[in-house]
């Protein structure tokens, strides 16, 4: 009795692509006919036909596998190229952002309504509390007042900064420090250091969120006995009281948040 071992599809590692039974059907029918007819010679011939059919089938399966591998390789190359192009786009954006950041850090331009929010917050913090740059916690509370108001009131950062009668730097002698900081940072290393510290804090808080609940600040001048404390100070919840670097003032940080 002749036993023919045909390689199965699992051994070839293939999915269903063609029907093996259909492929060798003619050979099997011939084999059956020869067997039924009782001719040993014809039977051996049909056995040979079946083997050749199976070998041809295996060859085609391998060709299909090679074509499939080539197709997959092409898809893979295309995907790699797509990722490379996308990475280049992202890198260009990062490079441009770093270039802009370096400009803002070293040579801040005039105020623009289109500038990033962190630059606008930096302007406010610098113009109102630049002399406290060696006490970063004060700068952080000031920056938090903008970010928390924006979130609580549903307003943009610039909308909060320019709210009527809110931040004094926009309406007193400090306004040039807000609108044109480079007039000062370009001639004073202290001002440049203060600006950069303000920028780093504003950038961090806008990215990571406000660490304090502060929404309002009031500077009490400890040596000014005639200074009056606004009524709104007593309507808000205290967050922290921090002395100025020179010890002549006391910052009251308060919140309208629950």
Maximal CA-CA distance, the chain: 128
Give me the pLDDT at residue 132, please: 95
Instruction: Compute the chain's Rg from CA coordinates.
Output: 39
Q: Where are the domains of the chain?
A: 1-106, 116-255
pTM for the full predicted model: 0.68
- Provide the sign of the torsion angle of the four alpha carbons 159, 203, 110, 216, taken in this order: positive
Instruction: Output 51 or 30, whichever has higher pLDDT.
Output: 51
> Residue 12: its pLDDT value, please?
43
pLDDT band at 246 (very low <50, low <70, confident <90, very high): very high
**173 against 181, higher pLDDT:** 181
The size of the chain, in residues, is 258
- The pLDDT value recorded for residue 41 is 55
Distance set, CA 85 to CA 72, 91, 95 (Å)? 20, 10, 15
243 has which bridge partners? 250
C-alpha 139/C-alpha 133 separation (Å) is: 7
> Would the pLDDT of 87 be above 50?
yes
Paired tokens of 112: 């623009």
Of residues 52 and 4, which shows the higher confidence score?
A: 52
Mean predicted lDDT score pLDDT of the chain: 82
Mean pLDDT over 248-257 rounds to 93
Tokens coding 249: 């003032």
Residues of the chain with pLDDT > 90, as a percent, come to 49
């Amino acid at each position: 009795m002749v036993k023919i071992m045909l390689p199965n599809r699992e051994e070839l590692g293939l999915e269903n692509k063609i029907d093996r039974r259909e492929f060798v059907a003619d050979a099997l029918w011939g084999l059956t006919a020869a067997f039924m007819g009782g001719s040993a010679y014809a039977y051996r011939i049909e056995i040979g036909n079946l083997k050749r059919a199976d070998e041809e089938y295996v060859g085609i399966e391998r060709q299909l596998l090679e074509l499939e591998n080539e197709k997959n390789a092409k898809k893979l190359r295309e995907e790699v190229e797509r990722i490379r192009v996308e990475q280049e786009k992202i890198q260009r954006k990062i490079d441009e952002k770093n270039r802009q950041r370096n400009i803002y850090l070293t040579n801040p331009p005039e105020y623009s309504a289109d500038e990033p929010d962190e630059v606008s917050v930096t302007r406010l913090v610098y113009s109102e509390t630049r002399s406290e740059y060696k006490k970063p916690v004060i700068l952080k509370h000031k920056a938090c007042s903008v970010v928390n108001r924006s979130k609580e009131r549903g307003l943009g950062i610039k909308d909060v900064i320019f709210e009527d009668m809110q931040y004094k730097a926009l309406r007193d002698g400090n306004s040039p420090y807000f609108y044109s900081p480079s007039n000062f940072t370009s001639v004073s290393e202290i001002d440049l250091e203060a600006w950069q510290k303000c920028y780093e804090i504003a950038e961090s808080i806008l990215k990571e969120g406000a660490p304090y609940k502060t929404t309002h600040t009031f500077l009490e001048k400890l040596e000014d006995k005639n200074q009056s404390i606004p009524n709104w100070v007593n309507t808000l919840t205290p967050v922290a009281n921090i002395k100025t670097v020179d010890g002549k003032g006391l910052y009251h940080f308060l919140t309208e948040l629950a």
